């Protein structure tokens, strides 16, 4: 297992394209390569990190080269394909046992985003239904399933945008936090999918993006992708959002999610709870936007969601420079949990839950199951 | 007038002492020097900036070498003394006219902290009451008044600490924002004076300091001065405070103020409003701690408080490194306004206003006037 200091060799490739670079792509060359846009380098350098092993993918997820709950799930699915490649000689039972071990390993890269374990469980379940006596016979089917998860992610995000775009009034000021955009998914994004769709329809609005300390995903990623897409964006400190709301300049808040409990309590990037509280204070709608794969119905409430604590140095250092003595303690949770009661509505690919509670969420899930059966 | 790029020559001097360096000191050498601890360099370098002219002081205030509403007032008072020094040859009317012009100029260094104009008005009023036919006769009295303002600031802060310390329960988790400590005043601080006094009395508590973007006064200054004073301090991102409140780890919030309107609405460092809203949500007392010189009774409410908008590059760059393209717009107000209704109590050197409203504030001011008359 690689450690967090990046001791495994990292292979990179510059991007030669225009506009918004793809978050992740699969390349069949050299026996299969997962090409991840290295989001730790944005917006300064647009480079891909080439992953050829499950270790490479684990490490890329851990250091946030790829981040955003949906994108992490897709990356992990491809990571499992990379783990399977050297196992083609194994007979089916041994192959499946190794695959389960690789999935367990990949699922440890980050603890909060449930899409990670969701994608891995889906891959394992698919492997068990595939016919084939050995690894060589099973690997193509696994890769097809990973492609399916990636295609589905883009399609789900497109539908989320269509379902939610009407929530963006013309001339609105829209506040968002962290990055729940194209860079957090295969394409379109979750919270930002609403904005892309409203923009495509010619509606005019203005986005305010929290910079999102400590890792500045809002300043580095959301500003980058919205500006690249021609959407009016302004960055602010996380602490300044309440003053914009107080001044009447924000008409709605849209955020993504990393895990949603059965009752609608939502884990998302640290700072989200403060926004939800302020939105309630100033009577502003607060929307969580996420695919159904972000739901974890096994958890009754947000109290049960594991919260990743990240390294104190993420606060101590800014741009690689110490801003505090190493003797100063830091508190650095990656996520917080917003109670469902503070969420105006949950927007998913199958519809909108409003109000957000166990009953409306169960209803959305049931509707999705029915539509899956029909299709 | 020097510009913000620092084109005037800056003279520096390292500190050879131990413990917490003094925020500002007056030195009679060379015809008078105001020695300001350069807070832009903390915690890495402990150096003083030597101010020999009013321009030097204006610039030091503007670039936040000295900051904190009370300290800014004292620095401006000494700045006026520096402005007066070359005017000793002028006859009284011309001297006073030049002094008024210098005060007008110094008051433009930062628009929000009312202590700045309070201290300058007090210096001018004093000058007009001094007897003396020319500048040479008036300058010593002016300097004595500046010393009086500095002594009074330290004494007021000491009294604030004694009046407010009982608000800190044993074993409390105390959240604070920005720096309202010894570094924001001549000594002791405002919000942090409560903590210093409780600590002196042997009470045990734990401080959580918001890092306070964009200029990180919490991470750089509050952590530095509390750790130097042996107080248990942990730094967090501004957006993480609500999650600590939700988890029951915060028993009270203490913040300073830059200007307080007659009805108790309080301008303080951007991010304060979000804390006040979250404290209300989680039923946690939220205290504003400030000397009476921070009151601006000429303003009926917080709507009338001018809010300084600072350079967008404060957000764009971190540690001198760009984190966004220069094409991305930024919203960077230095302060926000917390409505009095969200403030549990206002702690001052003459007593505590609780609840905070025009009546309780008028009562504090009247009590102060009575005690001034008596002393």
User: B-contacting residues of A 166-185, CB under 8 Å?
Assistant: 177
Kindly state the tokens that stand for A238: 């996380």
Please tell me which of the candidates B243, B322, B324 has its beta carbon nearest to residue A270.
B243
Would you call B29 an interface residue with chain A, using a CB distance cutoff of 8 Å? no
Q: How far is A3 from chain B (nearest CA, A)?
A: 25
Interface membership of B212 toward A (CB under 8 Å)? yes
Give residue A1's pLDDT: 41
Q: Which of B242, B272, B328 shows the shortest C-beta gap to A235?
A: B328
Q: In which element (H, E) is residue B133 found?
A: none
**How many Å lie between the alpha carbon of B92 and the closest alpha carbon of chain A?**
47
Interface test with B, best of A274, A275, A313 (most B CBs within 10 A): A274
Output the pLDDT for position A375. Answer: 46
Task: Please state the ipTM of this predicted complex.
Answer: 0.92
Q: Rounded mean pLDDT of B122-149?
A: 97
**Residue range A266-311, pLDDT digits in tens:** 999 999 999 999 999 999 999 999 999 999 999 999 999 999 999 9
Radius of gyration of chain B from Cα atoms? 20
Q: What per-residue confidence (pLDDT) applies to A373?
A: 57
- The nearest CA of chain B is from the CA of A107 a distance in Å of 25
The shortest C-alpha distance from B194 to chain A (Å) reads 21
State which of A11-15, A28-32, B95-99 shows the largest mean pLDDT: B95-99
B25 phi/psi in degrees, rounded to 5: -140, 150
- Contacts with B214 from chain A: Cβ below 8 Å: 237
Closest chain B C-alpha to A229 CA, distance in angstroms: 13
Q: How far apart are CA B241 and CA A30, in angstroms?
A: 48
Q: How many CB pairs under 8 A join A and B?
A: 188
Confidence tier at A133 by pLDDT (50, 70, 90): very high
Q: What is the mean pLDDT of chain B?
A: 94
Measured between beta carbons, which residues in chain A are less than 8 angstroms from residue B241? 274
Tell me, what's the pLDDT at B7? Answer: 61
Nearest-CA neighbor of B302 among B356, B242, B344, B241? B356
Interchain contact, B235 vs A322, CB within 8 Å:
no
Q: Pick the residue of B240, B268, B277, B322 with the most A CBs within 10 A to test the interface with A by mutation.
A: B240
Chain A 237-276, CB below 8 Å of chain B: which residues? 237-244, 246, 270-274
* Closest by Cβ to B281, choosing from A240, A277, A324: A277
Asked if B219's CB is within 8 angstroms of A315's CB, the reply is yes
B97/A contact by beta carbon, under 8 A: no
Return the minimum-mean-pLDDT range out of A32-41, B5-14, B222-231, B340-349.
B5-14
Q: Give catalytic residues of B, as residue numbers.
A: 258
Any idea which residue has 């696994």 for tokens? A142
pLDDT per position as a tens digit, B85-103: 999 999 999 999 999 999 9
Q: Which of B224, B240, B315 sits opposite A211 (nearest CB)?
A: B315
Across the interface, do B242 and A337 touch by the CB < 8 Å criterion?
Answer: no
């Amino acid at each position: 297992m690689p450690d967090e200091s990046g001791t495994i060799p990292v292979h990179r490739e510059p991007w030669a394209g225009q506009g918004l670079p793809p978050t992740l792509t699969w390349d069949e060359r050299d026996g299969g390569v997962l090409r991840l846009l290295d989001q730790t380098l944005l917006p300064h350098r647009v480079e891909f990190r080439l992953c050829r092993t499950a270790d490479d993918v684990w490490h890329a997820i851990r250091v946030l080269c790829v981040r955003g709950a949906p994108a992490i799930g897709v990356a992990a699915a491809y990571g499992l394909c990379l783990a399977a490649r050297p196992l083609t000689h194994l007979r089916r039972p041994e192959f499946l046992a190794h695959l389960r071990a690789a999935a367990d390993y990949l699922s440890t890269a980050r603890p909060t985003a449930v899409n990670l374990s969701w994608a891995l469980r889906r891959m394992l379940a698919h492997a068990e239904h595939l016919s084939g006596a050995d690894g060589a016979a099973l690997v193509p089917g696994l890769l097809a399933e990973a492609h399916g998860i990636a295609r589905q992610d883009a399609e789900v995000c497109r539908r989320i945008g269509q379902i939610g775009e009407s929530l963006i009034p013309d001339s609105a000021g829209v506040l968002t936090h962290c990055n729940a955009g194209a860079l957090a998914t295969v394409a379109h994004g979750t919270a930002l999918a609403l904005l892309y769709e409203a923009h495509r329809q010619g509606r005019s609005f203005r986005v305010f993006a929290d910079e999102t300390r400590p890792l500045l995903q809002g300043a580095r990623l959301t500003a980058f992708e919205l500006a690249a897409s021609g959407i009016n964006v302004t960055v602010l400190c996380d602490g300044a959002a309440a003053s914009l709301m107080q001044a009447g300049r924000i008409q709605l808040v849209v955020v993504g999610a990393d895990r949603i409990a059965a009752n609608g309590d939502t884990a998302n990037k640290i700072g989200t709870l403060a926004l939800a509280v302020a939105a309630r204070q100033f009577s502003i709608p607060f929307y969580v936007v996420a695919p159904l794969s972000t739901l974890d119905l096994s958890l009754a409430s947000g109290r049960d969601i594991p919260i990743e604590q990240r390294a104190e140095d993420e606060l101590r250092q800014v741009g690689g420079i110490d801003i505090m003595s190493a003797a100063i303690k830091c508190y650095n949770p990656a996520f917080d949990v917003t109670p469902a009661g503070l969420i105006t509505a949950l927007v998913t690919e199958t519809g909108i839950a409003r109000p957000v509670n166990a009953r409306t969420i169960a209803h959305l899930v049931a509707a999705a199951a029915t539509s899956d059966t029909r299709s």
